[in-house]
């Protein structure tokens, strides 16, 4: 059972959950500690880049929001937005430590080894982040890459078509 405001540290590699723990502490310090750990223990400099990326994820909160969570939101300056009459969405920080990334082609990479470090408010947040990491480290299907390339080409052509029609 997660206590709101704890930090989840979740590792996935090649579509599988490797480790998952929820700890107490300062988010930035836990990110730094894990970045050093994974750089030393798992990163192969001749094989892959090493990156730490900051991002955000959404956590849904049903009204009434417990006082404990309200205090965490205020303490951590977390942005809230109303989704509907019964739900708020909290925008929470997440850091991705990528220690194994393969170049598939000129424009595409596949991140095989990732550690997510995030402030969590519920067990559901931990499950959602776990699923995101597992899915993002699965081997991409070549058809998906081709579809993605076609979509990118279509997006690139749209502005060109608009410019041509104005001339």
Contact 4, 69 (CB under 8 A): yes
107: phi then psi, degrees, rounded to nearest 5: -110, -5
Share of the chain above pLDDT 70, in %: 84
User: pLDDT tens digits for 66-109?
Assistant: 999 999 999 999 999 999 999 999 999 999 999 999 887 778 88
Contact 58, 91 (CB under 8 A): yes
The confidence score (pLDDT) of residue 148 equals: 61
**Of 142, 144, 54, the residue nearest 98 (C-alpha):** 54
Query: Rounded to whole angstroms, what are the CA distances from 7 to 56, 72, 165?
Result: 14, 12, 52
User: pLDDT tens digits for 38-76?
Assistant: 999 999 999 889 999 999 999 999 999 999 999 999 999
Alpha carbons within 13 A on the beta-carbon side of 140: 18
C-alpha–C-alpha distance, residues 90 and 4, integer Å:
12
What are the sequence ranges of the domains in the chain? 6-139
């Amino acid at each position: 059972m997660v206590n709101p405001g704890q930090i989840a540290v979740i590792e996935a590699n090649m579509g599988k959950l490797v480790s998952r723990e929820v700890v107490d502490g300062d988010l930035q310090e836990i990110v730094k500690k894990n970045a050093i750990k994974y750089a030393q223990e798992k990163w192969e400099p001749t094989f892959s880049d090493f990156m730490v990326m900051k991002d955000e994820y959404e956590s849904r909160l049903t009204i009434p929001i417990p006082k404990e969570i309200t205090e965490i939101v205020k303490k951590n300056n977390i942005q809230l937005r109303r989704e509907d009459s019964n739900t708020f969405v909290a925008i929470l920080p997440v850091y991705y430590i990528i220690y194994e990334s393969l170049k598939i082609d000129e424009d595409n990479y596949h991140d095989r080894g990732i550690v997510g470090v995030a402030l969590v408010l519920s067990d559901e947040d931990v499950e959602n982040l776990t699923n995101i990491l597992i899915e993002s480290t699965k081997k991409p299907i070549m058809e998906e890459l081709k579809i993605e390339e076609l979509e990118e080409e279509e997006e690139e052509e749209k502005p060109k078509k608009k410019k041509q029609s104005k001339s």
